[in-house]
Structure 1
Amino acid sequence: MSRWAAVTAFIIMLTLPSMAMAETTTLSQASEQWSYVALGDSLAFGIQNDGTIGKSYADYISANLDEENVQHDFTKQFAIPGASTGDVLDQLKNDPKVKLAVSKADLLTITVGANDFLNVLKSHPEDLQDPLKVQELMKNAITNYSQILGMIRQANPHVQIYIMGYYNSFYALPAEQQQPLKSLLLGLNQSIELLANQPGVWYVPTIDAFEGHYSEYLPNPQNVHPNQDGYKTIASQFFMKIENHLPVQIHRIAGNTRYQTAVEISKNGWESANTVVIATGNNFPDALAGVPLAYKFDAPILLANKRLSASVISELQRLHAKKAIILGGPNAVSGYTEDQLKGMGMEIQRIAGEDRFETAAFISAFLHSKSDTAVVVNGLNFPDALSSASYAAEQGYPILLTRSQKLSEDVEKSLKSFKRTIVVGGSGVVSNELVTHLPNPERYGGSNRYETSAMVATKLNPSHHAFMATGENFADALTGSVLAAKRSATFLLVPPNKIDDSIIAASENLGIHTFTILGGEKAVSPNVEKNLMQLK
């Protein structure tokens, strides 16, 4: 521990009891909207590297919160260029508007401390060469900081507080001038980090994120402020901490039928689409391998019965689609459906083999994937294929289907193009013997479809956003997987009425805070939503 950290630890020990009296909580209601307040100096205010006023890191955090649909309001009006810890403490003591904003905040970010030393550097630089004066400055700054946190917690027991450590803004100085200032900066950061060691407060480091990017983020050596790329980088460091504590958000995309749900998924993901993929809504085999293909062409998957429904035709018109890729032969998607599409002036391409295995192999060839990896799943049932579909799509991996004990000739031939295979499903659905004949196989399989889904999400496709669909039917997961890939979300299968323990564990381990449920309440019941709201 440095001497500055030791000083800080002693000061915190004296002041911590008053700060720890109030209990902190993590907010987690689906309808919850946060109030965000940014306090601090010019970095919170938004001074640019050319001295003008622009967006600060707080603006980019606010934009991220808006994107997550959790922000009610945001203000950085109390951030002051040049503010020291004493200035922020004075605000909290004497400005009723600041105190009111803090009392109502759910999220608060603070950047303060550097000016306690920069102001001295400008007026009396020789003081920073005196260890006793520097120690006194550090002690005063940390005492103020401790009181700032104490007053915030007293005004608002539940607000989440994120405090920033500073980057090195002295990179352009000669080494002999830079080193003492950098040492002082590191001491300040250590002290700030120690202050964050209490409930409901998190330290946000930035120094490593700027290391090696100084000329990129700090193009003006005469100005300590970053450009917009630098501010975005600071915001990303904050948000990596914040997103672990975001309130759970639950959305549902559903129609009255699986065909209408597919239309609603299309509406949620595409304003227009040159190409669409058409699959049967009655059975899964031909469509299982189609998600990577749809993703490649940025195409929604729409479902047909014996013919296209009025809602699907309307959606095709809204999308201004010009081409339809049909998965499967006429027994899957009828000739009448094809005639309907042609009647709308659309170009048609049908991908169909003698069976599901050959169809999957044809889709793989049609992808023209440059990847050396293929996903192999059991083709006689749908869950494992759909658990891995969004991951395979985003990675550009084709999905090949197999029986549990033996590869078809078409799939065996396709596999010669790949150096590596990812096997999804346990030994009961893809046998150990078969796996030994695959190129460099890696298996991801649990004891049931839900454990397998959880394993794929956790180990292959981690995200804070999960799409969810019933594990008892294929349609909603099929059409939703393309949108999940488009949103860089993971995918989880759930029982219709209650979340499997393995899915709960995966959701908590991944820190998932946004869930998009696919299908109506008969497919995924409201009880599943209640289970999600209880996640830690």
Structure 2
Amino acid sequence: MKSSKSSVRIWRITGITSIVATIVLIGGFIYAISDVLNPVGSTYTSDATASGAKPATTVATDGSFQIAVLGDSLAKGTGDDDGSGFARRTVDLLQKNGKEAKLIANLGINGQKTASVLSSLEEPGVQHVLKQSNMIFVSIGANDLFNAGEALGNTQQAPSKQQLLANLPKASKTLQQILERIAQINPDAHILYLGLYNPFSDLPEIRVPGNEAVTAWNTTALNIINSQSNMSLIPTFDLFQQNLNKYLSSDHFHPNGTGYEQIAERVVQSIE
């Protein structure tokens, strides 16, 4: 009888633990969606103010990298332990490898979608930053794709593949406009677009639809980029797919410091 009661107790504990884990993951999803609903502007970050797929090979005539980054919370570096993000970490890695590299400005903003990035490209300040750069990192699309997750906060049900893909046609067209407009503003710069990953691939309710939606988005983005001569896609899906516990921050959406370092290493491999 004691053994039977002990087994029942163990199964109860296991069941409760599983429920709590699921609630935590769903909570992370809802928290991440709040970035979309309540975007927070980025603090202007640059070396100038602080201290004075296809290989990306465009550098200045003196061999230096002048880097700008724009887009969403991943561009900004949200979730990083020390706030560096992949852009600052990329600059640091290049410098460690003996390259001259400078982060001109980080224009990432939490919660940004493709439409707001496109409109920002007409701002004189943004255009000035882009014209000062010879390498431009772009991270955008996750908030467009996972926007359907707003429904999760209301119904406690995971979004379907159809819901996740609902914004794909319009958002991907806007992405194309973004990349083409950046190329018009600075035709000499090389543009690196950061591919998406599925931060919920360990959550059964979202794993399959999330993977399919992210794959569809990345494929569309790659087709856009392959039609241009000065653009590259930096894949991240494979980096995170089997390493969510290692590379995601506590919000279960953004990378942590280790995750951003992995992205930075992938970027450096592409541009060196």
What TM-score, normalized by structure 1, do the two folds share? 0.37
Matching residue of 1:279:
none
Per the TM alignment, residue 135 of structure 1 is displaced from its structure 2 partner at its CA by 4.8
Matching residue of 1:234:
263
Per the TM alignment, residue 120 of structure 1 is displaced from its structure 2 partner at its CA by 2.7
Distance in 1 separating the partners of 2:178 and 2:246? 33
Per the TM alignment, residue 73 of structure 1 is displaced from its structure 2 partner at its CA by 4.4
Matching residue of 2:184:
154
1:480-523 Cα distance to aligned partner (Å, 9 max, x none): xxxxxxxxxxxxxxxxxxxxxxxxxxxxxxxxxxxxxxxxxxxx
Per the TM alignment, residue 114 of structure 1 is displaced from its structure 2 partner at its CA by 0.6
Distance in 2 separating the partners of 1:25 and 1:47? 28
Matching residue of 2:218:
189
Matching residue of 2:71:
40
| Secondary structure of the structure 1 residue equivalent to 2:167 | helix
Matching residue of 1:484:
none
- Are the aligned partners of 2:104 and 2:133 in contact in 1 as well (CA < 8 Å)? no
Per the TM alignment, residue 150 of structure 1 is displaced from its structure 2 partner at its CA by 1.1
Matching residue of 1:145:
175
Q: 1:61 is matched by which residue type in structure 2?
A: T
1:429-459 Cα distance to aligned partner (Å, 9 max, x none): xxxxxxxxxxxxxxxxxxxxxxxxxxxxxxx
Matching residue of 1:215:
245
- Relative to structure 1, the CA distance from residue 66 to residue 171 in structure 2 (aligned partners, 3 Å threshold; closer, same or farther) is same
1:247-295 Cα distance to aligned partner (Å, 9 max, x none): xxxxxxxxxxxxxxxxxxxxxxxxxxxxxxxxxxxxxxxxxxxxxxxxx
Matching residue of 1:114:
142
Trace 1:271-350 onto structure 2 (pairs within 5 A): none
Distance in 2 separating the partners of 1:56 and 1:108? 15
- Relative to structure 1, the CA distance from residue 101 to residue 83 in structure 2 (aligned partners, 3 Å threshold; closer, same or farther) is same
| Secondary structure of the structure 2 residue equivalent to 1:196 | helix
Distance in 2 separating the partners of 1:122 and 1:134? 11
| Secondary structure of the structure 1 residue equivalent to 2:255 | coil
- Relative to structure 1, the CA distance from residue 42 to residue 157 in structure 2 (aligned partners, 3 Å threshold; closer, same or farther) is same
- Relative to structure 1, the CA distance from residue 214 to residue 183 in structure 2 (aligned partners, 3 Å threshold; closer, same or farther) is same
- Relative to structure 1, the CA distance from residue 219 to residue 114 in structure 2 (aligned partners, 3 Å threshold; closer, same or farther) is closer
More helix by share: 2
1:58-102 Cα distance to aligned partner (Å, 9 max, x none): 1111112333332244311x1111111111111102x21111111
Number of residue-to-residue matches in the alignment: 212
Q: 2:263 is matched by which residue type in structure 1?
A: I
Q: CA RMSD in A?
A: 2.5
> Which 4+ runs in 1 deviate beyond 6 A?
124-127
Matching residue of 1:527:
none
Matching residue of 1:70:
100
- Are the aligned partners of 2:70 and 2:108 in contact in 1 as well (CA < 8 Å)? yes
**Gap regions ≥5 residues in structure 2:** 1-55
1:126-172 Cα distance to aligned partner (Å, 9 max, x none): 895373x6555101111111110111111111101111112220033
Distance in 2 separating the partners of 1:130 and 1:118? 10
Q: 1:183 is matched by which residue type in structure 2?
A: E
What TM-score, normalized by structure 2, do the two folds share? 0.70
Which one scores higher on RCO, CA 8 angstroms, separation ≥ 6? 2
